A and B are shown apart, each in its own frame.
Chain A
Amino acid sequence: MALSNEYIKEKLIEKFGDQVTGFEEPYSLLTFRSDKEINLKVLNFLVEEESLQFGFLTDLCGVHYPDNKGQEIAVVYHLHNMRENVRIRYKVFTSIAKPEVYTATGIFAGANWMERETYDFYGVNFIGHPNLKRILNVEEMDYFPMRKEYPLEDQSRIDKDDEMFGR
């Protein structure tokens, strides 16, 4: 039996009720979110549940939404069920004032560096991570460069008229 998006959605709602929300299917990839407090429970359920078996962590990354007050930072997991070849996307949101999410390293060994990268760029503090330090940037850095408050170009430049460049 092919694993359909509706079935995964039903299973999740059956287990977690209204704690999992925001079901969408952009480009037919099932996307949903939950409270950050239960991220390990959801991940564990997705891995352990006999009929789901999303045992492969394809990708983990952060996104910054500065306008989303109280929930500025998203941590996005892409999971893959290799037997049925179904992918899903799971998001948790956390505030930028206290960006804390439980680490998934206990479930996926591969989450280790991906979480370090997310910490490096977005400052997400993965609670329980065995070695949470910067990985691509220098350790002396005291800011998180992928956040939107660090725009790429020097905004004080006046020799370029942005309107002329479609920006």
Chain B
Amino acid sequence: MSDNVLLPSGSIEKQTTTLNLGPTHPATHGVFQNIIELDGEKIVAADSTVGYIHRAFEKIAERRSLYQITPLTDRLNYCSAPINNMGWHLTCEKLLKVQVPKRVDYLRVIIMELARITDHLICNSIMGVDSGAYTGFLYVMQYRELVYEIYEEICGSRLTTNIGRIGGFERDFTNTAFEKIERFLREYPAVLKEFEDLFTRNRIFMERAIGAGPISAERALNYGFTGPNLRAAGVDYDVRVVSPYSRYEEFDFEVPVGSTGDSYDRFLVRNGEMWQSLRIIEQALRKLNDLKGEEATVYHADVPEYYLPPKKDVYTKMEALIWHFKIIMGEINMPAGEVYNAVEGANGELGFYFISDGGRSPYRLHFRRPCFIYYQAYAEMVKGAMLSDAIVVMSSMNLIAGEMDA
């Protein structure tokens, strides 16, 4: 019983119950423990705990060269690993002052938007599962598999992708990859439409989600919200628009914005973003087709100090092997300096704060993880709600354990 509830003696109706929501139940999305104080079914107080899968990324990064850090980044938000990879490579490129060719930017945009779609479709469909509807999850899941096949075609792995290099890509996209991207663009809209039809005007889903865990725009900003969670509260902030990277300024897309900041708005914003991402990918494919001459084939910048030599040469030529080894082991020093670079991750502004002292590894590397920063508002958002709302609010926030707890 909490100390701040005054009870008439002998009353059991007003007693509060302490409930550990999580950390092992699937509906608590990973390993989050929420200690919830319940009055009947109503939540009077909540306290959240993180810190179960902490892997000390930032410490490990202080002993590693740039390419050895890439695999750490794709384990942050593992639902959209390529965005993290690209964000990291963009940060390195900013520090090293590397200019990438046009084609690389467009290819990156395609990959990042595919990753955004997979992240949102998982989040929204799991929100359906958490509120009692399994079907939508099955509709969209096969298309996440298709996107994973695209990743596999490009870099050889599916979940923790490690896509890209400083300055571009390791190899050009194959025809099969483009065919699969086109198949995705052809087939996914119908599925997304069906998914929307199933949820958006569904009475039960609306009752569960509307008004659950609302947060005002001022409060959201004060808490450091970014991404769809902030946009659902009505703030039109998107890193792709305000500080474009990878030529996002050339693309024509809208930023879906909500008004109330409740779970339903967050759901709608994510769905809206999936449509916009499809638009962006279509435009990027068209822009790729319009490239002429050398621009149409080059898939990496000409920066031999940072871009790994082709694998074929590494296996057959001594110089290439030595050069590969020197880059991987960080024999080539970086310029000293401090850089902060942000990309629009699937669930908010993913920032990398990189301090270099001129050595082979970062002196200090700090990840600005959107999940970690906005999850602290959870206790405030569920206060006064029902116990069942706590689950919906949590799934609507798109919490990724790996990112929160890096």
Interface residues in chain A, defined as those with a beta carbon under 8 Å from any beta carbon in chain B: 26-27, 29, 31, 55-59, 61, 63-64, 76, 78, 82, 85, 87, 89, 108-110, 112-114, 117, 121, 134-138, 145-146, 151-153, 165-167
User: Is B15 on the interface with A (CB-CB < 8 A)?
Assistant: no
**Which of B258-266, B349-357, B384-392 sits within the interface?**
B349-357
Which 5 A-B residue pairs are closest in the complex by CB-CB distance? A110-B224, A61-B366, A136-B54, A59-B368, A136-B51
A120 CB → nearest B CB, Å? 9
Q: Select one of A78, A109, A152 contacting B351, CB under 8 A.
A: A78
Write out the residue numbers on chain A whose beta carbons fall within 8 Å of the beta carbon of B339: 26-27, 29
User: Is B50 on the interface with A (CB-CB < 8 A)?
Assistant: yes
Complex alpha-carbon distance, A94 and B220, angstroms: 30
In the complex, the answer to whether A113 meets B376 with C-beta atoms within 8 Å is yes
Interface residues in chain B, defined as those with a beta carbon under 8 Å from any beta carbon in chain A: 50-51, 54, 56, 58-60, 62-63, 94-95, 219, 221-224, 235, 237, 242-243, 326, 329-331, 337-340, 342, 349, 351, 353, 355, 360, 363-364, 366, 368, 372-377, 405
| Chain A residue with Cβ nearest B222 | A109
In the complex, the answer to whether A152 meets B51 with C-beta atoms within 8 Å is no
Complex alpha-carbon distance, A52 and B243, angstroms: 19
Write out the residue numbers on chain A whose beta carbons fall within 8 Å of the beta carbon of B364: 61, 63-64
Q: Select one of B56, B95, B372 contacting A145, CB under 8 A.
A: B56
Write out the residue numbers on chain B whose beta carbons fall within 8 Å of the beta carbon of A108: 222-224
Write out the residue numbers on chain A whose beta carbons fall within 8 Å of the beta carbon of B235: 82
In the complex, the answer to whether A166 meets B360 with C-beta atoms within 8 Å is yes
Beyond the given A55-B221, A153-B63, could you list 8 further A-B residue pairs with CB under 8 A, ordered by the A residue number? A26-B337, A59-B351, A82-B235, A85-B242, A110-B224, A110-B376, A138-B51, A166-B330
17 contacts between A and B (CB under 8 A): A31-B338, A56-B224, A58-B340, A59-B351, A59-B368, A61-B353, A61-B364, A61-B366, A89-B340, A110-B373, A110-B376, A112-B376, A114-B373, A135-B50, A136-B51, A136-B54, A166-B326
In the complex, the answer to whether B222 meets A78 with C-beta atoms within 8 Å is no
In the complex, the answer to whether A152 meets B372 with C-beta atoms within 8 Å is no
Q: Select one of B50, B94, B223, B237 contacting A109, CB under 8 A.
A: B223
Write out the residue numbers on chain A whose beta carbons fall within 8 Å of the beta carbon of B222: 108-110
Complex alpha-carbon distance, A117 and B372, angstroms: 10
Complex alpha-carbon distance, A124 and B58, angstroms: 17
Check A87/B340 contact, CB under 8 A, given A63-B355, A114-B373, A152-B62: yes
In the complex, the answer to whether B353 meets A59 with C-beta atoms within 8 Å is yes
Q: Select one of A57, A78, A85, A112 contacting B353, CB under 8 A.
A: A78
Check A166/B224 contact, CB under 8 A, given A29-B340, A152-B59: no
Write out the residue numbers on chain A whose beta carbons fall within 8 Å of the beta carbon of B363: 63
Check A110/B223 contact, CB under 8 A, given A27-B339, A58-B351, A136-B54: yes
Most chain B CB neighbours (cut-off 10 Å) among A57, A58, A108: A58
In the complex, the answer to whether B221 meets A56 with C-beta atoms within 8 Å is yes
Complex alpha-carbon distance, A27 and B356, angstroms: 12
| Chain B residue with Cβ nearest A134 | B51
Write out the residue numbers on chain A whose beta carbons fall within 8 Å of the beta carbon of B329: 165-166
Complex alpha-carbon distance, A57 and B220, angstroms: 11
| Chain B residue with Cβ nearest A91 | B338
Most chain B CB neighbours (cut-off 10 Å) among A55, A113, A114: A113
Complex alpha-carbon distance, A134 and B405, angstroms: 13
Check A27/B59 contact, CB under 8 A, given A109-B222, A136-B51: no
In the complex, the answer to whether B54 meets A27 with C-beta atoms within 8 Å is no
Q: Select one of A63, A76, A121, A137 contacting B51, CB under 8 A.
A: A137
Complex alpha-carbon distance, A153 and B331, angstroms: 19
Write out the residue numbers on chain B whose beta carbons fall within 8 Å of the beta carbon of A146: 58-59
Write out the residue numbers on chain B whose beta carbons fall within 8 Å of the beta carbon of A151: 63
| Chain A residue with Cβ nearest B49 | A135
| Chain A residue with Cβ nearest B63 | A152
In the complex, the answer to whether B349 meets A58 with C-beta atoms within 8 Å is yes
B402 CB → nearest A CB, Å? 13
In the complex, the answer to whether A27 meets B338 with C-beta atoms within 8 Å is yes
| Chain B residue with Cβ nearest A113 | B376
Complex alpha-carbon distance, A76 and B351, angstroms: 14
Write out the residue numbers on chain B whose beta carbons fall within 8 Å of the beta carbon of A136: 50-51, 54, 405
In the complex, the answer to whether B223 meets A152 with C-beta atoms within 8 Å is no
